[in-house]
Chain A
Amino acid sequence: MDRILLVEDDARLGQQVVDSLREAGMDVTWIDRGDDALSADPGVYDLAILDLMLPGAYGLDVLKHLRRRSDLPVLILSARTEASDKVRSLELGADDFVTKPFWPEELLARVQARLRRPTLVRDGTHALGGVTLDLDGRRALRDGHTIEFTRVEFDLLAYLVKQNGAAVTRQELVDHCLDPERDGSVRTLDVHVSRLRKKLGDEGAWVKTVWGIGYRIEDPA
């Protein structure tokens, strides 16, 4: 279970955030004063959510404290819209910035993105459903049997997996995976992906088409 440290002084907003995060299965510790936050040990948490306007201490000082003691992801909440505040927070080591007002889902999504771990990594391999990928060994296995991919097909799959679920443009895939001398263009890319999907069988659904962009890896479930 992910452990979240929330530093927020507003009672209603704080309660909302706590409820939202707990509903998503996270463990939340809620501190409502800056000076109390300064004596918290960031090492026991996986992520911190920090409001900049706090009683008892400056939000930026709490940020510095958290940063000094650990490298846990810190997400700033703020109503202030000055560019300098954002820049300063990011300079001081904040990982993300959520401006009020925000939707609970928005905050949750950002928290989850920061907590995101690479897709099911076990012993240096990636699992896409029933398919196991060994990126270093350049092998793909299903039930112990090797799936034969061409170099381009494997490169495409590996590249998408390494993006950790982020969408990748067709052009980027062409640039990184296709050979420009051998008909490496956006049109041929789609053909390669289509073949890749076929070879993956059911797990082909893990390779999602993203409209206007290209492709990404996503658990179809």
Chain B
Amino acid sequence: MKLGPRLALTVLAFGLPLFAAIEWYRRDTDRRLKVEGLVNRALGHMDEGARAACESAPERFGGPLDDLVGSLRRGPRGRRGDRPPPFRDAPGGGKGKGPPPKGGRRGGGPQATLWAFDQDLQCANPGAPALPPALRAGLDRGLDIVQRRIERDGRTGLEVAFRTEWVDGPCAVLWITQWGGRVPVVGSTAQLVAGGALAAGLLLAALAAGWPIVRRLRGLTAAVGRSAATDYAEPVPDRGSDEIAELARAFNRAGDEVKARMASLTERSTALRQFLSNTTHDVMTPLTVLQGHLGALQRRAKDGEPVDAEVIRGCQEEAHYMASLLHNLTAAARLESGAVAVDLRPQDLGPIVERAVARHRPMAANRGLQLEIALPSQPVRARVDVTLLEQAVSNLVHNAVRHNSTGDHVAVVLEASGERFSLRVLDDGPGASGAVLEKLSQRRFRAEEARQRTPDGQGLGLHIARQAAEAHGFELTFASPSSLGEEGKPGFEAVLEGRLVDGG
């Protein structure tokens, strides 16, 4: 059952008995007040002379209070022996049966009758109705006040019989009956017990309904705690169809999310550490070579020998290689972290290509190579990640420069035609063998192998260039067309092609 109806039932189950108890208490108090009121009314009249009338002429005492009050007011008539004014006999022969007395609104309030009894519950007035058995029984049992709700012909009333302080006289017990007014029904003891049982039953039902909720909530809390402590490895039990089960399911979903995030973060953290480790490792060798060259230079300088241009060139090559490496490793890290890190925007390719080529001019000059660039007079706009593309082009140029020697040529040509652009990096050097070209054209080029600085040196640079091209949706192809160079030197051509973007 859903929590809503369950809680509603619980509230009812608690509320009803409470309401009943309050109502019972209210009626009980009400009744007591009425009883007290009646007793006081009777005693009041006794004080005002009714007692005297009763003790002096008990055989004539009793009846409707209005008449009594009236006679008291008129005062006792004269001499002994005079008949006191008659009470009207209770109609119906004094048995207390018959219609309740009517009339009489003079002094005294609602219609009431009053009869007096001695301590043996005998009435001196022969016209008095008999004391009702219920009242008599209570008095016999030793109660000082007994009361009873009466009902006849649609009218309700209250009668009270109580012992007075005048225990020796004919008004030791007074029985006053009052009709009219609302007399609240107050349950008997049996009824009270039954009511109590029902209330208890409802309370138990409420507990029975509520307790499982509490227990399940506690269970869920414990399960949540355990799950969180084990990095959400353990889902919490979520059987059921009520809100608690839904909560459990929601928690499990949240836990799955957190797990996925944590996995992704761990993966990235591992990748980062891997990157750092690769970088430091890969820089070590060229750095060592550089230090070696510098050491050689120092020795020769100490010996007063002239500077060996070759050694200087060696130093520069290593430094250049390290710079390229660092840029490439950064690019690799970005490519590996996926599309998120690639920031594509419409850009003019001209300046990008120019910057990439400029990086290698000193090295080309060092090696005696001609490095030339041709850009169109109009901007060539495509959606590119500036840094990534610059690195890719730089790698293509670096590749060309590194493989060629004195007298060779490297040309970098950017052209646009229709909706496409093409960037060619060509040289007239030794080119690449069929096997190497085959490898270069493979879809998957493991980054690990790529990181080796192999003698034919495809290495990381071309791998990055290929990955960058893919990330941009461009095509990168390699060829060694013999048309480029002379006999024995077929040359090498890397071609990057892609779509232009309008305007921007």
Contacts and interface: CB of A to CB of B under 8 A. Distances in A.
B376 A172 contact: yes
Contacts of B345: 87
A87 B504 CA distance: 14
Contact of B361 (A87, A109, A166): A109
Interface stretch (A32-40, A50-58, A207-215): A207-215
A210 B372 contact: yes
B362 A168 contact: no
A119 interface: no
A136 to B, nearest CB: 19
Contacts of A212: 372, 409-411, 413, 426-428, 484
A65 to B, nearest CB: 23
A110 B357 CA distance: 11
B355 A96 contact: yes
Contacts, number: 81
Given A83-B386, A96-B355, A106 B361 contact: yes
A84 B342 CA distance: 10
B97 interface: no
Contacts of B246: none
B372 A110 contact: no
A101 B358 contact: no
Contacts of B359: 99, 102, 106
A82 B411 CA distance: 28
- Name the residue among A81, A90, A110, A169 with the largest chain B CB count within 10 angstroms: A81
A171 B409 contact: no
Contacts of B413: 169, 212-213
A97 interface: yes
A176 to B, nearest CB: 8
B227 interface: no
A32 B345 CA distance: 33
B167 interface: no
Contacts of B436: none
B365 A105 contact: yes
Interface string A168-195: 1101100000000000000000000000
Contacts of B363: 103
Interface in A84-138: 84, 86-87, 90, 96-99, 101-103, 105-106, 109-110
Contact of A211 (B320, B362, B409): B409
Contacts of B385: 83
Interface string B335-351: 00000000101010001
B28 interface: no
B387 A213 contact: no
Interface in A35-68: none
B355 A101 contact: no
A166 B386 contact: no
Contacts of B426: 212
Given A109-B358, A166-B375, A212-B372, A101 B386 contact: no
A102 B323 CA distance: 8
Contacts of B428: 211-212
B11 to A, nearest CB: 60
Contact of B343 (A84, A171, A172): A84
The SS class assigned to the B binding surface is mixed
Interface string B355-388: 1001101110100001011111100000001111
A30 B361 CA distance: 26
B226 interface: no
Given A81-B327, A81-B330, A86-B387, A106 B358 contact: yes
B415 interface: yes
Nearest to A105: B362
Contacts of A87: 343, 345, 347, 386
Nearest to A172: B376
Nearest to A101: B323
A167 interface: yes
Contacts of A90: 351
Contacts of B320: 103
Contact of A97 (B355, B377, B427): B355
A103 B323 CA distance: 10
A95 B347 CA distance: 14
Contacts of B376: 172
Contacts of A86: 386-387
A83 B387 contact: yes
A32 to B, nearest CB: 24
B319 interface: yes
B361 A105 contact: yes
Interface in B395-429: 409-411, 413, 415, 426-428
Nearest to A107: B358
A83 to B, nearest CB: 4
A87 to B, nearest CB: 6
B411 A106 contact: no
Contacts of B484: 212
Contacts of B373: 166-167, 213
B374 A214 contact: yes
Contacts of A168: 374
Nearest to B360: A106
B110 to A, nearest CB: 97
Nearest to A168: B374
24 contacts: A83-B385, A83-B387, A83-B388, A87-B347, A90-B351, A98-B355, A99-B359, A103-B363, A106-B362, A166-B374, A166-B375, A169-B374, A169-B413, A171-B415, A172-B376, A211-B409, A211-B411, A212-B409, A212-B413, A212-B426, A212-B427, A213-B374, A213-B413, A214-B374
Closest 8 CB pairs of A and B: A212-B411, A211-B409, A103-B362, A83-B387, A105-B362, A213-B374, A83-B343, A101-B323
Interface of B: 316, 319-320, 323, 327, 330, 343, 345, 347, 351, 355, 358-359, 361-363, 365, 370, 372-377, 385-388, 409-411, 413, 415, 426-428, 484
Given A84-B343, A168-B374, A169-B415, 9 more contacts: A82-B387, A83-B386, A103-B363, A105-B365, A167-B373, A172-B374, A210-B411, A212-B372, A212-B410
